[in-house]
């Protein structure tokens, strides 16, 4: 049993409590996106198996498909059933209306993403959304984003993001001060989605660890690493030590979901019972989530245990 496992993780903890506790332990909170109940079951099963906190994420597209209120109700129910800190985040929210909708639905945090706009406009729109969601729920955590880390948790032909738009410590400090955000998502060499070579396990993402440490120092708030899929394990460990508090994994889950679904369907062309087809999919995705959770909590998962989803 590790030191982390001896902690009393319960459903009564707030997201802020958990992030503070993990930071003191040198660990990070895993964030996993869900688009349907199969993925949700997999993430919750991984939390139950490892007895670790998780942050479930849903982007605007995922919320639209699942239903924001339906997802919030299911997560609340699972949190109570398992008595574990299972939180819900409204990932990449691009409008004030969608941020308010998520806060009203009971989400624990909102990623306010106006990072495609010029800096001053990003500041103004983010600040407005922070105030609006905190008026609905003062305990909600607001995340803001600066820099360019590409879009789409998918398999890409060419690299996403632009190395010229990595975040600087000075703009991080200014952005946090001007907006009142609780969590900052900087661009530090991370990117959304995976290249084909990463899906095949032939290449890994590398992070600018020094920049993370400088941004942490300047910003003084929790930091999120978006686009974590396909990142080198050692870089994850160093990024957490440098000040990363939340790590987003989406594409790895989607790759595992699709591959296991194809395998399950191919196993018996006459099988039509949904839960027999989908149960192996839940198990496959759960394995990816459990491995990542253990890595983010400093457990030695062994080379190649995660990251190579091929």
| Closest approach of Zn ion to the CB of residue 148, in Å | 12
| Closest approach of Zn ion to the CB of residue 109, in Å | 13
Chain residue at closest Cβ approach to Zn ion = 226
| Closest approach of Zn ion to the CB of residue 23, in Å | 20
| Closest approach of Zn ion to the CB of residue 92, in Å | 6
94 lies in the site for Zn ion, by CB under 5 A? no
Residue range at the interface with Zn ion (CB under 5 A); choices 97-105, 221-229, 231-239, 302-310: 221-229
| Closest approach of Zn ion to the CB of residue 227, in Å | 6
Give the separation between CA 27 and CA 59, rounded to whole angstroms. 24
205 lies in the site for Zn ion, by CB under 5 A? no
Residue range at the interface with Zn ion (CB under 5 A); choices 45-53, 154-162, 173-181, 222-230: 222-230
Residue range at the interface with Zn ion (CB under 5 A); choices 81-89, 120-128, 214-222, 223-231: 223-231
292 lies in the site for Zn ion, by CB under 5 A? no
Q: Select 226 or 235, whichever has its Cβ closest to Zn ion.
A: 226
| Closest approach of Zn ion to the CB of residue 87, in Å | 16
Degrees to nearest 5, angle at CA 205 with 120 and 158:
75
The site that binds Zn ion (CB under 5 A) totals a number of residues, namely: 1
Of the candidates 41, 226, 294, 297, which one interacts with Zn ion according to CB under 5 A?
A: 226
125 lies in the site for Zn ion, by CB under 5 A? no
Q: Convert the chain into a string of H (helix), E (strand) and C (coil).
A: CCCHHHCCCCCCCCHHHHHHHHHHHCCCEEEEECCCHHHHHHHHHHHHHHCCCEEEEECHHHHHHHCHHHHHHHHHHHHHHHCCCEEEEEEEECCHHHHHHHHHHCCCEEEECCCCCCHHHHHHHHHHHHHHHHHHCCCCEEEEECCCCCCCCCEECCCCCCHHHCCCHHHHHHHHHHHCCCEEECCCCCCCCEEHHHHCCCCCECCCHHHHHHHHHHHCCEEEECCCCCECHHHHHHHHHHCEEEEEECHHHHHHHHHHHHHHHHHCCCCCCHHHHHHHHHHHHHHHHHHHHHHHCCCCCCCCCCCCCC
| Closest approach of Zn ion to the CB of residue 33, in Å | 8
Given CA atoms 53, 57, 63, 65 in this order, what sign does their dihedral have? negative
63 lies in the site for Zn ion, by CB under 5 A? no
Q: Select 33 or 214, whichever has its Cβ closest to Zn ion.
A: 33
Q: Select 84 or 195, whichever has its Cβ closest to Zn ion.
A: 195
| Closest approach of Zn ion to the CB of residue 226, in Å | 3
Nearest CA-CA partner of 111 in 223, 250, 235, 211? 223
Q: Select 85 or 161, whichever has its Cβ closest to Zn ion.
A: 161
Residue list 156-185, contact with Zn ion (CB under 5 A): none
294 lies in the site for Zn ion, by CB under 5 A? no
Residue range at the interface with Zn ion (CB under 5 A); choices 100-108, 167-175, 219-227, 262-270: 219-227
Residues linked to residue 205 through DSSP beta bridges, in sequence order = 231
> Which residues in this chain contact Zn ion in the complex, by CB under 5 A?
226
């Amino acid at each position: 049993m590790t030191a982390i496992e001896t902690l009393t993780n319960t459903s009564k903890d707030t997201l802020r409590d958990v992030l503070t506790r993990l930071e003191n332990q040198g660990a990070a909170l895993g964030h996993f996106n869900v688009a349907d109940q199969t993925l949700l079951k997999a993430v919750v099963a991984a939390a139950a198996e490892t007895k670790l906190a998780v942050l479930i994420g849903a982007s605007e597209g995922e919320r639209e498909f699942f239903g924001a209120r339906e997802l919030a109700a299911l997560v609340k129910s699972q949190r109570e059933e398992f008595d574990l800190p299972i939180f819900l985040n409204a990932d990449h929210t691009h409008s004030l209306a969608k941020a308010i909708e998520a806060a009203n639905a009971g989400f624990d945090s909102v990623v306010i993403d106006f990072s495609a706009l010029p800096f001053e406009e990003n500041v103004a729109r983010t600040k407005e959304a922070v105030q609006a969601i905190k008026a609905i729920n003062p305990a909600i955590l607001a995340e803001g984003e600066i820099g360019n880390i590409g879009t789409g948790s998918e398999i890409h032909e060419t690299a996403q993001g632009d190395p010229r738009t990595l975040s600087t410590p000075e703009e991080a400090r200014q952005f946090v001060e001007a907006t009142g955000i609780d969590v900052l998502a900087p661009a530090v060499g991370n990117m959304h989605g995976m290249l084909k070579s990463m899906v095949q396990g032939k290449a890994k993402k590398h992070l600018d660890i020094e920049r993370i440490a400088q941004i942490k120092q300047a910003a003084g708030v929790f930091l999120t690493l978006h686009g974590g899929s396909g990142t080198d394990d050692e870089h994850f460990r160093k990024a957490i030590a440098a000040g990363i508090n939340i790590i987003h994994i989406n594409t790895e889950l989607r790759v595992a979901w699709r591959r296991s679904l194809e395998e399950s369907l191919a196993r018996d062309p006459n099988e039509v019972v949904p839960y027999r087809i989908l149960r192996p999919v839940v198990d496959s995705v759960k394995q990816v989530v459990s491995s990542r959770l253990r890595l983010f909590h400093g457990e030695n998962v062994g080379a190649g245990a995660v990251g190579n989803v091929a």
